[in-house]
Structure 1
Amino acid sequence: MPAPHTRPGTLSGGPARFDAIVARMGRPQDIRALSLAALHAVMAMRLCALFERAGRDPLPDLAQRYRSMETARAVHGLVRKVVRTWPERFLVNRPCQLVMTPDEATLAAMLRHALGADRAGFADLLDGFVRADRHDGLFEATRYAAALLSGGNA
């Protein structure tokens, strides 16, 4: 269980927390272990990266993939929000890769917290990595996309 915050704006767990994060990032995570919603989100990031390099709009392909323009817009909105709020370039693997990058694994964990309506866990996951003032917008974009990817309503 993560250490509780002692006051707003402080990092929970201190250096030991970051040691655990770095160790976890060093272990490859298999995409086949993800929930369907998390798998869709990671694959959307990979596809959007390919489309960006090719100079193509990913929305038509995402809409066809999800059979829903609303879901495609929500997922594309999440991709854009992540790219805008990430402190550095979001790294993705090619779509055929079974192993996730640390960024992709973080995205999958974000989906898990959003699906569980765990705003505190979501914030703790990103604490010290993504600026705290960006957590709420990122949580809402993730929650909306995750709900639609899971077949639920936002």
Structure 2
Amino acid sequence: MSTGQSSTRFAGAVEKLGRPHDVRGLTLSGLHMVLAMRLCAMFDQAGRDPVPDLAQRYRSIEAACAVHGLVQTIKQVWPEPFMVNRPCCLAMTPDEVTLAALVRNALGADRGSFGQVIDGFVRVERHGALYDATVHAAALLPSA
């Protein structure tokens, strides 16, 4: 693929990610995941373990551990630091928009679309670990 074809292929994705997105447009599962990522980042910065607070929020230690496991997986597979906004912010970062799309596809058991969301960004050999961690965490979060 030539450089021109490659830049054209991803131009639409880059433009889409550049537009502001609002957390109020997310599904409940997507909102929970984005807010959990924000809380994990806040606790990480403070040097605290987020699991006890997540367990209280979701009334499930298993869900809290699964979300924390997803955060750890993202730290390992994401090619750059995962950017989040403050928990009170309605706007989403491009990384949060991507995470919401991954959650949507994971809950729909659509591994193909899941891979398309991160194709060219996250190395292909890392997709499986990210998919498994996302499915596990999203399945345990409250959806209603």
Scaled by the length of structure 1, what TM-score is found?
Answer: 0.87
Conserved? CA contact 2:73–2:130, under 8 Å: yes
* Mapped pair 1:64 → 2:56: yes
Higher helix share: 2
Which letter does structure 2 place at the counterpart of 1:37? S
Cα separation, 2, equivalents of 1:132 and 1:77: 20
**Please, which runs of 5 or more residues in structure 1 have no aligned partner?**
1-12
**Sequence identity percentage:** 60
Which letter does structure 1 place at the counterpart of 2:129? G
Q: Which has the higher contact order (CA 8 A, sep 6+)?
A: 2
**Please, which runs of 5 or more residues in structure 2 have no aligned partner?**
none
Q: Mapping of 1:97-116 within 5 angstroms?
A: 97-116=89-108
Q: Mapping of 1:27-42 within 5 angstroms?
A: 27-42=19-34
Scaled by the length of structure 2, what TM-score is found?
Answer: 0.93
Equivalent of residue 143 in structure 1, options 131, 135, 140:
135
Conserved? CA contact 2:54–2:64, under 8 Å: yes
Conserved? CA contact 1:66–1:72, under 8 Å: yes
Cα separation, 1, equivalents of 2:142 and 2:46: 29
Which letter does structure 1 place at the counterpart of 2:8? A
